[in-house]
Amino acid sequence: MIELPILNYSFDEEAAGFGEPAKRPDEKRRVGEYVSIALIAIGAVFLVLALLGIGTPATLETSGDVARVWTMFAASFGLLVVGGLLYSVFRYKDTTPGIKNDGNTFRNIQRRGLLAWGLGVFITAFYIVLYWFSELRALGMPDVFATSTRLLDPLSHALRGVAADQWFVYGFLYTILVSVFGVRMILKYRHNRYQMIRTCSVMFFQLGFAFILPGLLKAANQPEFYFTYFWPLKPNYAWPGDTHYILYKGDVLNMVGVFMIAFGVFAILVLTPVLTYFFGKRWYCSWVCGCGGLAETFGDPWRQLSSKSNTAWKFERVIIHSVLLFVILTTVVLWLNAYIDDRILGSSAYWVKKVYAFMIINAFSGVVGVGFYPLMGSRVWCRFGCPMAAILGLIQRYFSRFRITTNGDQCMSCGNCSTYCEMGIDVRAYAQRGENIVRASCVGCGVCAAVCPRGVLKLENGPRTGRYEADAGGPLDQFLHDLTHAPRKHK
């Protein structure tokens, strides 16, 4: 629905000489928003104090020490979370359900301004320190995680039975961001049932299967296994050394580990092709995956920054499938090497894993994939580098029943759909031609349909009739066509 003040808005361009239109009046903040901002500010102050070591004991030797840390935890993270949730509630509660993207292209932090660059540098620096913590410590960097792990020690002991480390801090922060910004996403798109359910799904899988369950497994002296990630997104689950660690406790076969490996094999060989055939890659990329969960929640304010150019599309097709080929070759070589007693790589097998981890997992998915949210949009990793997205995309493009249908006669070429497509698809070009959207990169987030003011777009699962281009009679013909033809230019 379009709000009444916008419907009543009138601007005579001819009388004004076709100058710059009058700017929309700034919205007045509600009292609840100011209260929420105050809570966030107070929580931030307590967090800074905790990170400086003020108010938290150096060790947890007594129950009093534990109580002090819990108090500081509640005063910092507790107030930050409550303030963030209340801000979203007060921001959207008195507005009419409908499209809420006014001002996105003018706010400094959402249009690659100084604030966006500052945030991007901060996130990038955080990931560099996180992934290369040991190496940086060896070079003389202080233990920057010492106070943050101390602040989360009681929670880690309660969940996992061990002290917190930098990876627990990361998982906790990741889950908080998905949850808080997930509530914002639900309130913002509450006019769209699909968005509300989908957002609840990624919040559930992140909290339950990527944070709580691995912690409980750790407490039970089992491998800290993530059931929402499997090969090739989590390639080490299919690499010789890691599978042995999961399968065995010493020399004894671990039946829990057997179940984990069996689930991983079932997920990639059965679950992935079957669900992608029926529902497209959205079942994973927009409903289950933690990477997609962060992109759809915390990354939502920057979804409009993705490049829609054909050049970006060409790079996308080359890079993402190169990463897929890289992980396949790495996995095959590692297993061949293990099968013939390290006679191919010898001790170099360790460095093969390290190279992949450095280039793809650490640098691409973490540093660039999240650090560049404020500069390149929220799906940089998903669009250009994720090997799981590459496999799902191939199945979706050539075999799946999923597509986005268009009603071209109703399209008024406003461009909302293309603007807010985080995967860089020029949706409007398809709608103008009245063509169904069948793209390997589409994650089925449905935001293009949610922001369309005329209901032109619809996510559907149906017959594969008409899925292939005129000169391609089936999946193989279409695949050969795509290999030999550059992406069609948008008009």
Spell out the residues 6+ positions from residue 333 whose beta carbon is closer than 8 angstroms to its own: 344, 345, 352
Phi, psi (rounded to 5 degrees) for 254: -100, 110
C-alpha distance from residue 273 to each of 30, 393, 461, 468 (Å): 49, 11, 15, 19
Per-residue model confidence (pLDDT) at position 464: 73
What span, in angstroms and rounded, lies between the C-alpha atoms of 265 and 280?
20
Per-residue model confidence (pLDDT) at position 4: 59
Amino acid at 373: Y
Last residue of a domain, one of 51, 69, 95: 95
Burial classification of residue 163, based on how many CB atoms lie within 10 Å of its CB (0-12 exposed, 13-18 middle, 19 or more buried): middle
What span, in angstroms and rounded, lies between the C-alpha atoms of 291 and 228?
10
Q: Of 84, 104, 107, nearest to 32 (Cα)? A: 84
Task: Tell me whether strands 252-253 and 248-249 are parallel, antiparallel or unpaired.
Answer: antiparallel
Per-residue model confidence (pLDDT) at position 337: 83
> For residue 335, is it within any domain?
no
Per-residue model confidence (pLDDT) at position 378: 93
What are the mean pLDDT values of the chain's consecutive 10-residue runs (491 residues total)?
57 60 67 92 93 77 78 93 94 83 84 93 94 90 87 92 92 96 94 93 96 95 93 91 87 90 95 95 95 95 92 92 94 86 72 89 93 94 95 92 89 91 93 89 93 91 72 68 65 52
Domain that holds residue 62: 27-95
Neighbouring C-beta atoms of residue 318, cutoff 10 Å: 10
Q: Of 176, 134, 133, nearest to 152 (Cα)? A: 176
Q: Of 268, 313, 302, 304, nearest to 439 (Cα)? A: 313
Q: How many domains does the chain have?
A: 2
> For residue 63, is it within any domain?
yes
What span, in angstroms and rounded, lies between the C-alpha atoms of 466 and 213?
43
Last residue of a domain, one of 95, 116, 132: 95
> For residue 77, is it within any domain?
yes
> For residue 278, is it within any domain?
no
> For residue 340, is it within any domain?
no
> For residue 408, is it within any domain?
yes
What span, in angstroms and rounded, lies between the C-alpha atoms of 202 and 289?
7
> For residue 147, is it within any domain?
no
Q: Of 92, 96, 1, 101, nearest to 419 (Cα)? A: 101
Last residue of a domain, one of 65, 95, 125: 95
Helices 166-188 and 290-297: angle between axes, nearest 10 degrees = 50
Per-residue model confidence (pLDDT) at position 340: 80
Q: Of 90, 118, 108, 51, nearest to 187 (Cα)? A: 90
For residue 430, give the CATH number of its domain.
3.30.70.20
> For residue 300, is it within any domain?
no
Per-residue model confidence (pLDDT) at position 351: 83
Q: Convert 39-48 to b/e letters by CB count within 10 Å (16 or more is b).
A: bbeebeebbe
